[in-house]
Amino acid sequence: MVSSSSSFFCLFLLGSVLFLSDGATSLPEIPNLTTLSFEEGYTQLFGDSNLMLHRDGRAVHLALDQRTGAGFASQDLYLHGFFSASIKLPSDYAAGVVVAFYMSNGDVFEKSHDELDFEFLGNIRGREWRVQTNVYGNGSTAVGREERYQLWFDPTEDYHQYSILWSHERIIFYIDNIPIREVVRTQAMGGDFPSKPMSLYATIWDGSTWATSGGRYKVNYKLAPYIAEFADLILHGCAVDPSDHKTACQGSDAVSYDAITMSADQQTTMAKFRKKQMTYSYCHDRIRYPTPPPECTFVGHESQNFLASGEAKFNYRHRHGRRYVRSSVDARTKGEMAVETGIRTSVCMGSKCGALLRELEQIWTEVGESKEDKDLMLVELERECMQVYRRKVEEAGSNRAHLHRSLAEKEAEVTALVSALGEQSLRLKMEKRLSLKEQLASVNPVLEDLRKKKAERLKQFADIKSQIEKINVEILGSSRQDHSPANPVKIEEDDLSIRKLTQYQSQLRILQKEKSDRLQKVLESVNEMHSLCEHLEVDFRKTVDTVHPSLHDTGGRHSPNISETTLEGLSQAILKLKTEKKIRTQKVLEAVESLLELWNLMDTPVEERKYFGEVTCILGLPEHDIGCFGLLSLDTIKQMEAEVERLTNLKARRMKELVLRKRMELEEICRTAHIEPDMSTASEKIGAVIDSGIVDPSELLTKIEMQIVKAREESMIRKEIMERVDKWLAACEEENWLEDYDQDENKYSAGRGAHLNLKRAERARAVVTKIPDTVDKLMNKISVWEKERNMPFLYDGVPLVSLLEEYKVIRLKKEELKRRYRDQKKLQNLLLTGKETVYGSKPSPKRSNNFNRKTNENGFMTATPWRVSAGGATPGLLMQCSYSGHSNGCFKEIRRLSTTPLNLISISKDDRVSLFASVTSSEPGSPPLNQHSGLDR
């Protein structure tokens, strides 16, 4: 047994491989065929939390529980394209569960919708899922084009791809890229071929009333949730604008779908699939369609495999390595059952009717009826029996017709309610084997439920539409509104769908938001008008009454009018008040500026300014804050204008004094900035010009004020360079102090303030070392400034660059003198040291007492004049060479220094005399240079 099962399983795998390898299994050749995430192309249809996203939105799980199912739809409508998804169905017991992957436009074209379906019908444990496809066009739901198939795999174990290719010419259904059905458009089909834009849907819902064995097996919610998994979502089509149904695809895109056809291998593969796996086809349902629909062109060579009901005679199912042999409609079994029933009926009839006939025969024999009479009586008996049968048949037929009419009426009502309510997930499908009473019994609860839903929906529509009309009346500003029972709100009962209700709800929300915005705008406008009236001291009630009386209703009896007329009236009134406020504000600002200018010109005392002191604080404030001070009344403006006029008259009488004061201000600015003032308005000229009356003092004052403004601007332009000049001058002062300090013989004494001088000297040396760099940077800065403005930088009328260059020359000369002085000082010290070595040392006859120096009032040592004298050599330095054993080195240094040429011509006369005195003084106590005045002669 194990060997047999294993061999059969291997044969099953080989057969599956051969079946899949017969045709091309690749996707159609469509460019840019990529998967989308849920957010990129889809939106949730229903189900709330029963829709779950996985793998970063590239996989969607739809769950069915006792509360609800779930579904999603594409964001756009599409006219032709390729649409695909990989689907994994719920496993184990799934009776009553319906999973649908389909395209439809029922929400847009309610009475003439198109549809392309993949429907998966669940089953009880141990039985496989059933898959069917369907095509509807132009609302042709009465002409169903269903086909059902068995799958060669278990759809609950893994994902499998289900695809729909829809073009202008054909529709092809694929499973795992294998074509399983093709519908080619023919002229005879007319509008039955889908030709309007459709959306893509995926749903899971409860189909217990019909999905499994005609409703015999229901959904078992103890096993919930039932989860259908969707992945690899593909939307490749021509998106359509829902407003005008115009596609954005170019012609080349549309042609690309029409160009896709099946190859010979694919057609062969599809034929094998349909022969082995198809269990029902509407084309072969001769009971339902005695004349096949026009697109059924292959009936001849396939009809031999199907019964008159459209069911396949035989089909084979492979699952989990096991083989199931099943017949959708087993004619043989049915025939045997019919024969058995007929036998039982004949036996029954024979046993009862035969006894009666034998008894009647005996009576007729005893009576002596002739054979002709017997035959006549048998004929009469047969006629009477036929009349009874006929009456019963007619009654049964009438009853059946009544049931048919009732069923048809209820089905029509259900269809109308489903269409009106937009219940796309509810589809009433009756199993053919159910009796009429069973069908009526299954329709009644659905119909009652739909009627209740319709009543509830009508109430919702009435409430929403009444609110919409009420708000419209308020927005239009009309008081006409009558919703009495005699005049109820009119509702179109043909469309009560959730989509329509959502539209009304959206419209209501938009109107409610518009009403709220208008009310907010009215309140803001009224508050703004009230504020403006307070600032301008205007009667608010009288002003607002001109717009609408309800706007100042403080009792709350009536809501404020929010019509467009009211808003326009408020806008015009506010604009008028703002214009008046702007005019008054400008007058106040001009008056305040004039007051401040006149007060400053004439040095008005503080006591005189107090009356208008609060007014001056408005300068620099935003315009909307000026009214807060209560300064925009007409009385205040008149008082300020009168004060300006009084001060203007006073200004004319004191103009000369004002002009001279402004000239002094100009000169002070120029002196601070080291700028030469304009001499055309010199103080000497001003008095004579004003006294002569040649020039108007006001014009002269204006000219000086312009010069002041120009001087200030120039001062700001020169500010950065002037700061560097000040830094340089401060460094030069420190340099002068340091020179005086270095010449002080008592700088290292322990006197008062000596440590402060030492600290200052350290800081001064750090500053002095930076002077050359400071000067160079300053000159570079001046050069850039002059190039940018094409003018020299003057310092008190002299080019600053020339001053700096002169300073650099003087500094170089000074450094040269210092260097030569150090060299000569060193030479003198060496000569004295050699002399002491030959003749012996002696103390200096003139040695100043360093402890007799006086300190200045700040505690610093006073500096002594800088003298070039050889007597300044210390005994330690003189004795250093005398007592050293290396006297030859000292004499060599003396000879080197004595042979160094002195360029006395390049230095001044005073410097040459000082240098000559320092060299020729052979005694340490030689007198200073100023004692040798005879050298000058």
DSSP 75: S
Segment 710-730 shows an average pLDDT of 88
Tokens encoding 867? 């003298």
Which residue has better confidence, 612 or 527?
527
In this predicted structure, the answer to whether residue 933 has a pLDDT above a threshold of 70 is: no
List the one residue out of 78, 121, 265, 129 whose CA is nearest residue 207: 121
CA distance 62 to 781: 77
Q: Is 791 helix (H, G, I), strand (E, B) or coil?
A: coil
Tokens encoding 754? 């000596």
pLDDT in the model for residue 489: 66
Quick: pLDDT tens for 372-381.
888 788 888 8
Sign of CA dihedral 246, 247, 251, 256: negative
**Given the structure tokens 């002191």, which residue do they identify?**
613
pLDDT in the model for residue 7: 37
DSSP 33: -
- Band (pLDDT 50/70/90 cuts) for residue 764 is confident
pLDDT in the model for residue 29: 65
List the one residue out of 610, 554, 616 whose CA is nearest residue 591: 616
Beta carbons within 8 Å of 429's beta carbon, 6+ residues apart: 210
Residue 115 designated active-site: yes
Backbone angles phi, psi at 87, to 5 degrees: -125, 140
- Band (pLDDT 50/70/90 cuts) for residue 555 is low
**Given the structure tokens 């396949």, which residue do they identify?**
312
**Active-site residue among 40, 110, 119, 714?**
119
**Cα radius of gyration rounded to whole Å, the chain:** 59
**Best-predicted range by mean pLDDT (314-323, 368-377, 683-692, 817-826):** 817-826
- Band (pLDDT 50/70/90 cuts) for residue 846 is very low
**Given the structure tokens 């008054």, which residue do they identify?**
584
**Active-site residue among 115, 128, 229, 295?**
115
pLDDT in the model for residue 411: 80
Tokens encoding 663? 């000239």
pLDDT in the model for residue 768: 87
Question: Is there a cis peptide before residue 845, judged by omega within 30 degrees of 0?
Answer: no
Longest dimension (CA), the chain: 208
pLDDT in the model for residue 269: 93
Q: Is 302 helix (H, G, I), strand (E, B) or coil?
A: helix
Quick: pLDDT tens for 500-541.
888 888 989 998 898 888 888 888 888 888 888 877 778 888
Sign of CA dihedral 850, 851, 855, 860: positive
CB 690 within 8 A of CB 700: yes
Q: Give the DSSP letter string of 303-348.
A: GGGB-TEEEBS-EEEEETTEEEEE-SS-HHHHHHHHHHHHHHHHHH
Which residue has better confidence, 301 or 700?
700
Range in 35-39, 591-595, 748-752, 912-916 the model is least confident about: 912-916
- 757-763 long-range Cβ contacts below 8 angstroms, 24+ apart: 757/860, 757/861, 763/734
Amino acid letter, residue 40:
E
pLDDT in the model for residue 109: 85
Tokens encoding 180? 């399983």
What share of the chain has pLDDT > 70, as a percent? Answer: 74
pLDDT in the model for residue 907: 43
CA distance 266 to 261: 9
pLDDT in the model for residue 40: 92
Q: Which residues pair with 753 in a beta bridge?
A: none
- Band (pLDDT 50/70/90 cuts) for residue 20 is very low
Segment 124-134 shows an average pLDDT of 92
CA distance 410 to 405: 8
In this predicted structure, the answer to whether residue 171 has a pLDDT above a threshold of 90 is: yes
What share of the chain has pLDDT > 90, as a percent? Answer: 18
Inter-CA distances, 648 with 65, 643, 889, Å: 92, 9, 91
**Best-predicted range by mean pLDDT (423-432, 509-518, 890-899):** 509-518
CA distance 639 to 908: 77
CB 643 within 8 A of CB 635: no
Amino acid letter, residue 598:
L
Please calculate the CA angle 52-178-305 and round it to the nearest 5 degrees: 115
Beta strands in 249-291 (DSSP E): 278-285
Both ends of the chain: CA-CA distance in Å?
150
Beta carbons within 8 Å of 580's beta carbon, 6+ residues apart: 536
Query: Is residue 411 exposed (0-12), middle (13-18) or buried (19+ Cβ within 10 Å)?
Result: middle
Which residue has better confidence, 387 or 149?
149
Inter-CA distances, 188 with 185, 192, 295, 297, 654, Å: 9, 9, 8, 12, 110
Residue 119 designated active-site: yes
**Given the structure tokens 């650099």, which residue do they identify?**
808
pLDDT in the model for residue 625: 56
Q: How far is CA 379 from the centre of its chain?
A: 95
pLDDT in the model for residue 73: 96
pLDDT in the model for residue 318: 40
Quick: pLDDT tens for 76-110.
999 999 999 999 999 989 999 999 999 999 888 88
CA distance 404 to 758: 127
CA distance 206 to 210: 10
Please calculate the CA angle 100-103-108 and round it to the nearest 5 degrees: 120
Q: How far is CA 731 from the centre of its chain?
A: 60
List the one residue out of 61, 11, 37 whose CA is nearest residue 229: 61
Helix, strand, coil distribution of the chain in percent, nearest 5: 55, 15, 30
Quick: pLDDT tens for 241-300.
777 667 767 555 555 787 888 899 999 999 999 989 999 998 888 888 888 888 887 645
Which residue has better confidence, 22 or 559?
559
- Band (pLDDT 50/70/90 cuts) for residue 194 is very high
pLDDT in the model for residue 934: 33
Backbone angles phi, psi at 797, to 5 degrees: 85, -5
Q: Reading across the β-sheet that carries 199-206, which strands appear in turn?
A: 42-46, 70-74, 199-206, 97-104, 115-121, 130-136, 147-149, 278-285, 309-311
CB 68 within 8 A of CB 62: no
Inter-CA distances, 165 with 147, 183, 216, 301, 331, Å: 17, 10, 35, 26, 37
pLDDT in the model for residue 877: 34
**Given the structure tokens 């360093």, which residue do they identify?**
850
Quick: pLDDT tens for 664-711.
888 888 888 888 888 877 777 777 777 676 777 777 888 888 888 888
pLDDT in the model for residue 298: 61
Quick: pLDDT tens for 395-422.
887 787 788 778 888 888 888 888 788 7
